[in-house]
């Protein structure tokens, strides 16, 4: 009789929030659809697509569009089936069984999951005061624990806080580990190291099209690194990892610079509107919760009664995300933000003295 190993038996599937909710502010997706011109061009491309042929294994067109959009050499770019796949490839390629990898908690849960699958040793470094990165402490732990791979998001999911590029530069240069810098939310900030990867022999930057570009359904991500690291990723990934439809639509969308800029402006305006509303609620209900600074498309609350808050909102058809001991609220369309803020205000009013 076949008996699964303990590692596999212990696995639980990733647990996104399922169900039908009129207002979904849980997954950090864009509330904006793809630009109409991209959809129309995609329909034309769909009719011309050779579905009986494998996609381009190098994803040259979409990698070229990404490199042109950000002004970086195409030789530094490798495409993936979402940045999630690239994280898996990095862990399997650059870690061996028993190697130490480090995360800076709280952070994206899939980092630790991939380390577990690789049978690597997890070194969980806690963030400093105010959920900031304590750079000197991180360097000390990485050196002491002989960390081979350090991975963290910047700006951070779930804290929404960005670490200044100067501090990140110091960290990368001070550790012997491969540093995987997940910039999934950096389109909403200005502290990217994307144009500087040639300066480091131990840096891989991850980017995604799921947040600012409104392509979460297509599953398209990129890794950016010096050519030797980028080539290693291309060799380690599966041959046809990005399907032809995703490659084509991704390339079409990434070429729409004006539409991307307009969409980014709309998302940032929504984020600022949401944050202002939450700050107003915090003033009306002092001591109930704190809103962390945000350089992302979401706002994060330090909220002791977060589970009760989540349950109240869910009962009203609004869903947010609880993760890392925090409550995370994605910015939505104006009417979605308004419904959330009104309902949140009702919760804090009805639960006075209970927080």
Length of the chain measured in residues: 355
Provide CB contacts within 8 A for 335, sequence distance 6+: none
**Can you say how many angstroms the Cα of residue 9 is from the centroid of all Cα atoms in its chain?**
27
Q: Which residues contact 11 (CB under 8 A, 6 or more apart)?
A: none
Where do runs of H (alpha helix) occur along the chain?
Answer: 6-9, 36-48, 60-70, 82-94, 109-117, 135-144, 165-174, 227-236, 244-254, 257-284, 306-315, 334-350
Query: Which tokens in the block code for residue 44?
Result: 């034309």
Query: Residue 203: phi, psi to the nearest 5?
Result: -125, 130
Is the Cβ–Cβ distance between 222 and 78 less than 8 Å?
yes
Domain 14-32+259-348, second-level architecture: Alpha-Beta Complex (3.90)
Does domain 36-255 bear CATH number 3.40.640.10? yes
C-beta separation of 242 from 55 below 8 A:
yes
The pTM assigned to this predicted structure is 0.96
Return the domain boundaries, the chain. Answer: 14-32+259-348, 36-255
Query: Among all chains, which residue has been given the structure tokens 């490798």?
Result: 78
User: For 348, how many CA atoms within 13 A lie in the half-sphere containing its CB?
Assistant: 20
DSSP 3-state of 282: helix
Give the list of residues 6+ apart from residue 181 with CB closer than 8 angstroms, or none. 152, 154, 168, 172, 193, 203, 204, 205, 206
Strand residue runs (E) in 100-227: 100-105, 121-126, 147-153, 178-182, 203-208, 221-225
Tell me the pLDDT of the chain (355 aa) as tens digits: 999 988 888 788 877 777 889 999 999 999 999 989 999 999 999 899 999 999 999 999 999 999 999 999 999 999 999 999 999 999 999 999 999 999 999 999 999 999 999 999 999 999 999 999 999 999 999 999 999 999 999 999 999 999 999 999 999 999 999 999 999 999 999 999 999 999 999 999 999 999 999 999 999 999 999 999 999 999 999 999 999 999 999 999 999 999 999 999 999 999 999 999 999 999 999 999 999 999 999 999 999 999 999 999 999 999 999 999 999 999 999 999 999 999 999 999 999 866 5
| H or E element at residue 326 | strand 326-330
Burial of 353 (0-12, 13-18, 19+ CB in 10 A): exposed
């Amino acid at each position: 009789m076949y008996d699964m190993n303990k590692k596999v038996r212990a696995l639980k599937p990733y647990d996104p929030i399922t169900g039908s909710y009129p207002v979904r502010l849980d997954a950090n997706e864009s509330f904006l659809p793809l630009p109409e011109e991209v959809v129309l061009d995609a329909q034309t491309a769909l009719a011309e697509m050779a579905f009986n042929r494998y996609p381009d294994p190098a994803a040259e067109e979409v990698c070229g569009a990404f490199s042109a959009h950000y002004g970086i050499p195409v030789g530094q770019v490798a495409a993936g089936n979402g940045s999630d796949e690239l994280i898996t490839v990095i862990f399997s390629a650059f870690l061996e069984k028993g190697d130490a990898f480090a995360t800076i908690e709280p952070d994206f849960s899939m980092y630790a999951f991939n380390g577990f699958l690789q049978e690597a040793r997890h070194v969980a470094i806690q963030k400093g005061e105010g959920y900031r990165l304590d750079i000197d402490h991180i360097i000390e732990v990485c050196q002491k624990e002989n960390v081979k791979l350090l991975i963290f998001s910047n700006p951070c999911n779930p804290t929404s806080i960005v670490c200044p590029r100067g501090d990140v530069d110091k960290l990368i240069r001070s550790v012997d580990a491969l540093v995987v810098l997940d910039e999934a939310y950096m389109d909403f900030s200005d502290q990217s190291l994307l144009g500087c990867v040639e300066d480091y022999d131990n840096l891989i930057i991850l980017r995604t099209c799921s947040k600012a570009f409104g392509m979460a359904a297509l599953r398209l991500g990129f890794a950016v690194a010096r050519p030797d690291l980028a080539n290693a990723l291309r060799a380690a990934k599966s041959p046809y990892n990005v399907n032809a439809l995703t490659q084509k639509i991704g390339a079409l969308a990434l070429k729409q610079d004006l539409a991307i800029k307009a969409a980014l402006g709309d998302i940032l305006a929504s984020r600022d509107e949401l944050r202002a509303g939450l700050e107003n609620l915090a003033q009306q209900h002092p001591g109930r919760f704190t809103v962390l600074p945000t350089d992302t498309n979401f706002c994060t609350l330090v909220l002791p009664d977060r589970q009760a808050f989540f349950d109240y909102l869910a009962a009203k058809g609004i869903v947010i995300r609880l993760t890392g001991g925090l409550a995370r609220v994605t910015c939505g369309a104006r009417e979605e933000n308004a419904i959330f803020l009104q309902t949140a205000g009702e919760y804090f009013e009805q639960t006075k003295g209970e927080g």
